[in-house]
Amino acid sequence: MTDAADLAPIREAVRSLCADFPGEYWRRLDRERAYPTEFVAALTKAGFLAALIPEQYGGSGLTMTAAAAIMEEIQASGCNGAPCHAQMYTMGTLLRHGSAAQKERYLPGIARGELRLQAFGVTEPTSGTDTLSLRTTAVRDGDHYVINGQKIWTSRAEHSDLMLLLARTTPREQAKSRTAGLSVFLVDMRQARTNGLTIRPIRTMMNHATTEVFFENMRVPAENLIGNEGEGFRYILSGMNAERILIAAECIGDAKWFIDKAASYARDRVVFGRPIGQNQGVQFPIARAYIGMRAAELMVREAAALYEAGKDCGAEANMAKHLAAEASWAAADMCVQTHGGFGFAEEFDIERKFRETRLYTVAPISTNLILSYIAEHVLGLPRSY
């Protein structure tokens, strides 16, 4: 399903659901730094978060293009997909690399909304972007692994039943290769909370439900290891293209929201006896933001099409995320400028969306790391780190 006409009903259904969650809802949560439980429940009930789970496990079995359209529409409606976007892509690691028993055990529950797989524990405070230097260890002890260490920026950990966790199972110096020795676990956080897991919320500039998590002799059944021990880095990488494409689609939705808001305000706001949008100094930044958004949108579509055709889309997914994050941030800045003082007023929602969309040039991967990926893997330049 790739053409616009096929996706129109999905887009319409998402918009109609989002209409029940207007600006006041998000403003209240933002003030309280509270989790949008009702919004996430509504998306789950409607099946949108199970878009990429195959039908045999109770999901909708939709394409990446359709999933991207869902995330885009959420953002374009003024809502925020960040409290739940991981549920869409994190399960891909389980789907592609989990055993038949693991998939049967978890995917139908996730699809029905009974199990939340929202937490993704990769980043650590000391190693940051240098994932291969992470320090959390998982040591085999009989039919369990014992996990010790710390993660940071583990978003939604307080609102998730399961966490996909990357930990080192072979000391770096003993690993077969630079990328070997890391493993992926599906951690049942409901059990772990009384078994060595501590979660501490981190308050951020936007309402993001992010946390730091600590593992102290946390025991995870060996049957929760995903795939083969030591190959976890590859499994996590294989899920990153989906993550990049979906977050890029969210940025496109944000950009559309900012551009709509700005164009509408510029048409209506009269200063010096004429609409401000009659001034080219106001028009041009809106037009520029629109052009940037449309160009980024093409790359998102190309990346999604390659992904669903089973082709390598590493470069396109990275470029899509980069262009879309830049486009949404440029549109956010333009929107504030177009609104003048009102761009800063809470009730216009612009300052909230401005703070929310700022994240995406940093996470899930920062601009520099994308540029270095393209430099090295596409342009053949020497590896810089």
Ligand X SMILES: Cc1cc2nc3c(=O)[nH]c(=O)nc-3n(C[C@H](O)[C@H](O)[C@H](O)COP(=O)(O)OP(=O)(O)OC[C@H]3O[C@@H](n4cnc5c(N)ncnc54)[C@H](O)[C@@H]3O)c2cc1C
Binding site for ligand X (CB under 6 A): 120-123, 128-129, 153-155, 204, 208, 210, 359, 362-366, 368-369, 372, 384-385
- How far apart CA 101 and CA 91 sit, in angstroms, is 15
Question: Judging by beta carbons within 10 Å of its beta carbon (0-12, 13-18, 19+), is residue 194 exposed, middle or buried?
Answer: exposed
Of the residues 73, 243, 297, 308, which is catalytic? 243
**Closer Cβ to ligand X, 85 or 261, answer by number:** 85
CB 83 within 8 A of CB 159: yes
In the structure encoding, which two tokens stand for residue 346, read together?
Answer: 């809470």
**Closer Cβ to ligand X, 227 or 364, answer by number:** 364
**Closer Cβ to ligand X, 99 or 126, answer by number:** 126
- How far apart CA 306 and CA 318 sit, in angstroms, is 13
Compute the residue count for the chain.
385
- How far apart CA 264 and CA 277 sit, in angstroms, is 9
Q: Closest separation between CB of residue 372 and ligand X, Å?
A: 6
**Closer Cβ to ligand X, 119 or 262, answer by number:** 119
Q: What is the DSSP string of 171-232?
A: -GGGSSSTT-SEEEEEEEHHHHTTTTEEEEEE--SS---EEEEEEEEEEEEGGGEESSTTBH
The residue number whose beta carbon is nearest to ligand X equals 128
**Closer Cβ to ligand X, 305 or 369, answer by number:** 369
**Closer Cβ to ligand X, 185 or 265, answer by number:** 185
**Closer Cβ to ligand X, 87 or 102, answer by number:** 87
CB 330 within 8 A of CB 306: no
In the structure encoding, which two tokens stand for residue 312, read together?
Answer: 């390598």
| Region of 99 on the Ramachandran plot (φ > 0 left; ψ -120 to 50 alpha; else beta) | beta
Q: Closest separation between CB of residue 16 and ligand X, Å?
A: 29
- How far apart CA 269 and CA 277 sit, in angstroms, is 8
Q: Which residues contact 341 (CB under 8 A, 6 or more apart)?
A: none
Q: Closest separation between CB of residue 238 and ligand X, Å?
A: 16
Q: How far is CA 228 from CA 220, 231, 253, 342, in A?
A: 15, 6, 37, 55
Does residue 243 have an active-site annotation?
A: yes
Q: Closest separation between CB of residue 125 and ligand X, Å?
A: 8
Nearest Cα to 308, choosing from 65, 11, 6?
A: 65
Q: Closest separation between CB of residue 253 and ligand X, Å?
A: 18
The bridge status of strand 117-121 relative to strand 162-168 is: parallel
- How far apart CA 106 and CA 91 sit, in angstroms, is 9
Q: Closest separation between CB of residue 153 and ligand X, Å?
A: 3
Q: Closest separation between CB of residue 370 and ligand X, Å?
A: 9
| Residue numbers annotated as active site | 243
